[in-house]
Amino acid sequence: MAHSHDHAVEILTRNQKLVLEAMEKSSAPQSAYDLLDKLRPHGVKAPLQVYRALDQLVAKGLVHKLESLSAFVACQHPSDEGHAATVFMICDSCGSVSERTNACISGDLRNLATTDGFRVAHTSIELHGHCGKC
Ligand SMILES: [Zn+2]
Ligand SMILES: [Zn+2]
């Protein structure tokens, strides 16, 4: 997976780097406890260390939380600043997740919200179904 978020990665703490690396090795979403299991050999032992690293990675836009699964995935295009609306396609058979952003959906949602004076900070759409391979 090609990543061009070198600048953001440079300023990550050790725990944040470990969490991100563990996520990038798998295309399937990881729960905080999945990550904790993988990172135990690296000396990460407390769930709080993983939660804190995840929160910070989410805030940096390097990781997304999938609310419907209570799990996390590494961002598939972290160099894309225009991440206003993110659409995740989650395969319920193999567990793979692919991430797309779509400017039309973003614009439509923003128009819908601003009509009511609502200011959008974050949009995430999760589609469940079966991927092309399943
Ligand atoms: Zn992303
Ligand atoms: Zn699949």
DSSP 3-state percent helix, strand, coil across the chain (nearest 5): 40, 20, 40
- Ligand 1 geometric centre to CA of 103 (Å): 13
Q: Round to whole Å and give the CA distance between 134 and 130.
A: 6
* Top-level class of domain 6-74: mainly alpha
Query: Token digits for 50?
Result: 């993983």
Least distant ligand from the CA of 78: 1
Would you say residue 7 has pLDDT above 70? no
- Ligand 2 geometric centre to CA of 23 (Å): 18
Q: Round to whole Å and give the CA distance between 20 and 38.
A: 12
Amino acid letter, 75: C
Mean pLDDT estimate for the chain = 87
Domain boundaries, the chain: 6-74, 85-129
Least distant ligand from the CA of 130: 2
Quick one: residue 13, left, alpha or beta (phi over 0 = left, psi -120 to 50 = alpha)? beta
Q: What is the pTM of this model?
A: 0.81
- Ligand 2 geometric centre to CA of 134 (Å): 4
Least distant ligand from the CA of 87: 1
Amino acid letter, 34: D
Q: Are 56 and 73 in contact (CB under 8 A)?
A: no
- Ligand 1 geometric centre to CA of 106 (Å): 14
- Ligand 2 geometric centre to CA of 129 (Å): 8
The average pLDDT across 81-100 equals 86
- Ligand 2 geometric centre to CA of 66 (Å): 17
pLDDT band at residue 1, thresholds of 50, 70 and 90? very low
The superfamily (CATH) of domain 85-129 is Ferric-uptake regulator, C-terminal dimerisarion domain (3.30.1490.190)
Hey, which of 6-10, 44-48, 117-121 has the most confident mean pLDDT?
44-48
Rounded to 5 degrees, what are φ and ψ at 48? -60, -35
Would you say residue 79 has pLDDT above 80? no
Q: State the DSSP string of 97-116.
A: EEEEE-HHHHHHHHHHHHHT
Least distant ligand from the CA of 64: 1
- Ligand 1 geometric centre to CA of 60 (Å): 10
Report the pLDDT value the prediction gives residue 61, as an integer from 0 to 100. 85
